[in-house]
Amino acid sequence: MIGFELVRRAAPSQAMQVIAPLQAVLLTLLAGLGLFALLGQDPLHAFHQFFIAPLSTPNGVSELLLKASPLCLIGLGLAIAYRANVWNIGAEGQMYIGGVFATGLAIHYQQQWGAFMLPSMIVAGALGGMLWAALTAWCRARFHASEILVSLMLTYVANLLIKYLVFGPWQDPQANNFPLTVAFEDNALFPLLAELGWDWFEGTRLNLSIVITLLAIPLAWVFSQRTFAGFQLAVSGSAPGAARYAGYKESRAVWIAMLMSGAAAGLAGVSEVAGPIGQLNDRWTPQYGFTAIIVAALARFNPLAVPVAALLMALLYLGGESVQIELQLPKSISEVFQGLLLMFLLGSEVLVRFRLRRRVSAARGDGQ
Amino acid sequence: MKRSRLLGVALASIALSVGALGAAQAADPLKMAFVYVGPVGDGGWTFAHDLGRKAMEKALGSKVSTSFVENVPESGDAERVIRDLATKGNTIILTTSFGYMDSTLKVAKSFPKVEFYHATGFKSASNVTIYNSRMYEPAYLAGIIAGHMSKTGKLGFVASFPIPEVVRNINAYTMGARSVNSKITTKVVWVSTWYDPSKERQAAEALIGQGADVLLQNTDSSATLQTAQDKGVYAFGWDSDMAAYAPKAHLASAIETWGGYYTKLAEAALAGKPLKQTVWGGIREGMNDLVNVNPVIPETARKIVAAKKAEIAGGMQVFTGPIMGQDGSVKVAAGKSLTDKEIDSVNWYVEGVEGQLPGQK
């Protein structure tokens, strides 16, 4: 029998670390072509509708950036945490609390605080995300509780907290008992780029919150590549024994990783409630915190690759809508693509640590 | 070379003008798009809207061309989808869930030539028209049946959100039941979702566990009905005919029938006079109904239901006094009726509903 077998590499392959995500994307695209053909569509036309058409207008581009921005922001935080081997799965909940903190300020003080409103909300949102992440960090550092479980569970707690607030104390009295807060005033909203004189974005929803993301990308890179704390985190993650020997405290790595990823998620929360939504309601569960996990993984936890991965994931959402509107294909096709991407990525990962070798036939093998 | 290009231009312009003439006569189809909150699926709220879309397409044939987007979350995504549909040349866009209200208004502002129709909202604009169905009418009729069929005297209601639309359905169901058996009480479980079969099932199980033996729900799945069948009690279908899911437990279905309204608004738009009036229709307007009444229901009960249905179709208002509140105080005096505005902002339970309405201090 001629076949192949996996052989562990002596060291992880540098080349494959770069190739694996690209290979995953390529395989996803190929599988997509097959999928479209199976659905009875002209694959190339459907492909065009899915991946190209959404980007053919300024509005499409701005929607892509609007969707990618929170994914990127959260993905950056998660990339830093995951490098330190701290598995924060609850960015979604940290994002909710960021949104809650910002909303709390907005609905109580938007009449009084004028131009200070939005900056205060940004700070409050980051603090909210950090606070929620701190609960997980504390449980892990103090009790060695699994941060995966604690952060995931706290997401549901955060969601229930939002429900309590919008059904109760923060409900808009004019809303016919519907679970939502009052709409934010202009000083509690990110200004649209179009309003700031960027004519190209006229009529689009892209707002200034994207600047936070654009600033976060180099900051995350500098932190992870050029600072001592970033180095400590990376060592704690990849070689815990060495980190302990060098005197780095594990709990310190946990705290830094959780707080940074929490802050990023909280900021994403602000950019949502003070951006396209403009209020808090109980149905705000965009799942960005979970999708960003795929983003971080796809970027192999490299801060400079996170934006690319975020754009790709955002495009999968827009493409799904596009093929539904134009070709009446089911929208779940977006989720199929996300799943395919993750599956191919995990499959390709194997080749970083293993290589394929032609299996020598059993008879000859015995004779050696 | 030059000549042939000139010729081309000339031909093209002739073709264009002929095309324009043709358009004046046969006209391009009216492009209509629907935004759905759930999957088109095979039952429930979104399914009923899609039946309406199909009925309209059937009635108007090639005069309309429709498309839809399903599973659109009521978050920041809704605005993108609605905007996208508007830029793609749809002249009528129907947003079929309450949570699309503000997104619809925002997009409508930038597309003054597109007509928007928003289901169940309370904010309109010059090109945003609201439409809704008085589901409390079939809920009242269902209550009459429940009053006849209940042995324990306890009804159950699986409720989504404590908004007036749902509260008045609970009230109407209870009033219908008490009109034939004044000892009936209704228990309510809130699931805080419009569609979550597992939560709906748990809620139905809890209600049955507390002795409720005829259930109604204001949620979108058939889970309540199926749970009722598993536990050997009765329930109703909601939004669309759900008899097939649980033929034994199914007493009747309170359904939305949007097809007539959708056809009417498309015809009006084709005639160049788009409908702008808020529509809140019920049995009389053919916007909803109680259908597929199970033969196990005694003849007497079915006669009462048919008579009441005829009365409602003739203009009878369900919320006509005397109506007592939970504490027995008179909420609506005999001979008086709630106004539409009062029905649309009701935040109290009628006598016979147990428990406290969430959000009421």
Our CA angle for A302, A307, A312, nearest 5°, is 115
Q: Judge residue A315's burial from the number of C-beta atoms within 10 Å of its C-beta, 0-12 exposed, 13-18 middle, 19 or more buried.
A: buried
Report the pLDDT value the prediction gives residue A349, as an integer from 0 to 100.
83
According to the model, what pLDDT value does residue B14 have? 45
User: Percent of chain A at pLDDT above 90?
Assistant: 58
**Residues A207 and A158 both lie in one domain:** yes
The answer to whether B99 touches B74, Cβ cutoff 8 Å, is: yes
Looking at the fold, whether A20 and A148 belong to one and the same domain comes out as no
- Spatial distance between the Cα atoms of A319 and A327, rounded to a whole number of angstroms: 11
Count of CB atoms situated within 10 Å of the CB of B81: 25
What string of DSSP letters covers B191-242?
-S-S--HHHHHHHHHHHHHTT--EEEESSSSSHHHHHHHHHT-EEEEEES--
Which candidate, B196, B98, B70, B84, places its Cα nearest to that of A335?
B70
Report yes or no on A113 lying in a domain: yes
Q: Are A204 and A278 members of one domain?
A: yes
Burial of A260 (0-12, 13-18, 19+ CB in 10 A): buried
User: Chain B residues with CB inside 8 Å of A317's CB?
Assistant: 77
Question: Chain B contacts of A277, Cβ < 8 Å?
Answer: 75-76
Compute the average pLDDT of residues A203-215. 93
In a domain, residue A323? The reply is no
A35 inside domain: yes
Q: Could you tell me the two tokens for B343?
A: 């029905």
Predicted confidence at residue A195, as pLDDT, reads: 86
Residues 262-281 of A with CB under 8 A from B: 272, 275-279, 281
Q: What residues are paired with B321 via a beta bridge? A: B334
- Residue ranges of the domains in chain B? 22-133, 136-256+289-343
Q: What is the pLDDT of residue B24?
A: 42
What is the bridge-based pairing of β-strands B330-332 and B323-324?
antiparallel
Chain A residue numbers with beta carbons less than 8 Å from the beta carbon of B68 are 324, 328
pLDDT at B194 over 80: yes
Exposure letters B13-28 (e unless 16+ CB within 10 A, then b): eeeeeeeeeeeeeeee
Distance CA A132, CA B113 (A): 46
The structure tokens listed for A330 are 């089911």
Residue B16: per-residue pLDDT: 45
Let me know whether A83 and A207 are in one domain.
yes
Residue whose C-alpha is closest to residue B317's, from B283, B350, B293, B353: B283
pLDDT(A264) > 60: yes
Q: At B71, is the pLDDT very low, low, confident or very high (cuts 50, 70, 90)?
A: confident
Residue B45: its H or E element: helix B45-60
From residue A303, alpha-carbon distances to A76, A222, A259 in Å are 6, 9, 17
Q: Which of A48-52, A180-184, A349-353, B16-20 has the lowest mean pLDDT?
A: B16-20
Tokens, residue A112: 């009084």
* DSSP letters spanning A256-314: HHHHHHHHHHHHHHHHHIIIII-S-BTT----HHHHHHHHHHHTTT-TTTHHHHHHHHH
Reported ipTM: the value is 0.77
Least CB–CB distance from B74: residue in A176, A205, A283: A283
Question: CB of A318 within 8 A of CB of A64?
Answer: yes
B356–A contact, CB cutoff 8 A:
no
A343 is written with which tokens?
A: 């599956």
* Distance (Å, whole) CA A165 – CA A104: 10
Residue A95 domain boundaries? 67-305
pLDDT at residue A2, as a whole number: 64
pLDDT at B41 (0 to 100) = 83
| Buried/exposed B170-199: b ≥16 CB within 10 Å, e otherwise | bbbbbbbbbebeeebbbbbbbbbbbbbbeb
Does one domain contain both A17 and A92?
A: no
CA-based R_g, chain B, Å: 23
Mean pLDDT of the A122-138 span: 98
CB B202 within 8 A of CB B145: no
DSSP B57-111: HHHHGGGEEEEEE-S--SSHHHHHHHHHHHHTT-SEEEE-SGGGHHHHHHHHHH-
Higher pLDDT, A364 or B17: A364
State mean pLDDT over B345-350. Answer: 92
Nearest CA in chain A to B358: A167
Residue A52 lies in a domain: no
Does the pLDDT of residue B120 top 80, yes or no? yes
Residue B110 and residue A203: Cβ atoms within 8 Å?
yes
pLDDT band for position B360 (cuts 50, 70, 90)? low
Evaluate if residue A366 carries a pLDDT over 60: no
Residue type, B226: Q
Query: What are the pLDDT digits (tens) for A243-262?
Result: 888 888 888 999 999 999 99
pLDDT band at A210 (very low <50, low <70, confident <90, very high): very high
Same domain, A245 and A358: no
Using pLDDT thresholds of 50, 70 and 90, give the confidence band for residue A161. very high
Please report where in the chains the tokens 């009417």 appear, as a residue.
B264
* Assigned domain for A251 exists: yes
Residue of A176, A317, A328 lying closest to B164 (CB–CB): A176
Same-domain check for residues A252 and A357 = no
Based on DSSP, count helices (H) and strands (E) in chain A, helices before strands.
14, 2
**For residue B272, what are its two tokens?**
């160049």
Query: How many residues appear in chain B?
Result: 361
Q: How confident is the model at residue A362 (pLDDT cuts 50, 70, 90)?
A: low
Q: What is chain A's alpha carbon radius of gyration, rounded to the nearest angstrom?
A: 23
At A361, is the pLDDT very low, low, confident or very high (cuts 50, 70, 90)? low
Q: In this structure, which amino acid lies at residue B17? A: S
Integer Cα distance of B97 and B114 in angstroms: 19
Which pLDDT tens digit goes with each residue over B295-345?
A: 999 999 999 999 999 999 999 999 998 999 999 999 999 999 999 989 988
CA B89 to chain A, closest CA, distance in angstroms equals 12
Q: Which CATH number fits domain B22-133: 3.40.30.10, 3.30.230.70, 3.40.50.2300, 1.10.287.810?
A: 3.40.50.2300
- Tell if the CB–CB gap between B358 and A167 is shorter than 8 Å: yes
> Residue B95's Cα: distance from chain center in Å?
12
- Residues in chain B within 8 Å Cβ distance of A325: 33, 67, 69, 84-85, 88
User: Is 50 exceeded by the pLDDT of residue B17?
Assistant: no
Sheet holding B30-35, edge to edge: B64-69, B30-35, B92-95, B115-119, B128-133, B279-281
- Determine the Cα–Cα distance for residues B156 and B151; give it in Å rounded to an integer: 13
Tell whether A292 and A346 lie within a shared domain: no
Q: Show the tokens assigned to A68.
A: 């990618």
Task: Judge contact between B97 and B119, C-beta under 8 A.
Answer: yes
pLDDT at res. A155: 97
Instruction: Summarize the confidence of residues B69-90 as an average pLDDT.
Output: 89
Q: Rounded to whole angstroms, how far apart are CA atoms A278 and A186?
A: 9
Which of A289, A305, A321 is the C-terminal boundary of a domain? Answer: A305
Q: Mutate which of B34, B42, B71 to test chain A, going by most A C-beta atoms within 10 A?
A: B71
Which fold is adopted by the domain B136-256+289-343?
Answer: Rossmann fold (3.40.50)
Per the domain annotation, does A56 fall within a domain? no
CA distance A297 to A305: 10
Fold match between domain B22-133 and domain B136-256+289-343: yes
Across all residues in chain A, what is the average pLDDT?
Answer: 90
B206-265 pLDDT, tens digit per residue, is 999 999 999 999 998 899 999 999 999 999 999 999 999 999 999 999 999 999 999 999
Question: What is the DSSP-derived secondary structure letter of residue A89?
Answer: -
Dist. CA A162–CA B41, nearest whole Å: 29
Question: Whole-angstrom Cα distance, residue B289 to residue A205?
Answer: 41
Whether residues A299 and A338 share a domain: the answer is no
Residue A368 is predicted with a pLDDT of: 41
Taking only the tens place, the pLDDT of each residue in A291-345 is: 999 999 989 899 999 999 999 999 998 998 888 888 888 878 888 888 898 899 8
Global pTM value: 0.82
A204 part of a folded domain: yes
Give a yes or no: residue A48 inside a domain.
Answer: no
- Residue A314 contacts residue A337 (beta carbons within 8 Å): no
**Percentage with pLDDT > 90 across chain B:** 78
Which tokens in the block code for residue B186? 């209704």
**Could you give the CA distance from residue A64 to residue A210 in angstroms, rounded to a whole number?**
11
Q: How far apart are CA A67 and CA B17, in angstroms?
A: 42
For residues A83 and A26, membership in a common domain is answered with: no
Q: Is A183 on the interface with B (CB under 8 A)?
A: yes
CA B179 to chain centroid:
25
Q: Does B344 touch chain A (CB under 8 A)?
A: yes
Task: Report chain B's mean pLDDT, rounded to a whole number.
Answer: 90
Sheet holding B185-190, edge to edge: B185-190, B154-159, B214-217, B234-239, B250-256, B288-291
Helix and strand numbers (H, E) in chain B are: 11, 14
| Residue of chain A whose Cα is closest to the Cα of B347 | A177
Number of separate domains in chain A: 2
Torsion of CA A343, A345, A350, A353, to 10 degrees: -160
**CA-to-CA distance for A27 and A34, rounded, in angstroms?**
11
A35 and A73 fall within a common domain: no
pLDDT higher than threshold 70 for residue A32 = yes
The reply to whether residue A284 touches residue B98, judged by beta carbons under 8 angstroms, is no
Mean pLDDT of B2-27: 46
Same-domain pairing of A301 and A333: no
Question: Do the chains contact at B87 and A324, CB–CB below 8 Å?
Answer: no
Residue type, B34: F
- Give the residue among B268, B224, B263 at the shortest CA–CA distance from B246: B224
**Residue B265 confidence (pLDDT):** 95
What tokens does A175 get?
Answer: 């809303």
Taking the C-alpha atoms of B220, B223, B225 and B231 in order, what is their torsion angle to the nearest 10 degrees? -160
Task: Identify which has the larger pLDDT, A361 or A238.
Answer: A238
Answer yes or no: is pLDDT of A14 > 90: no
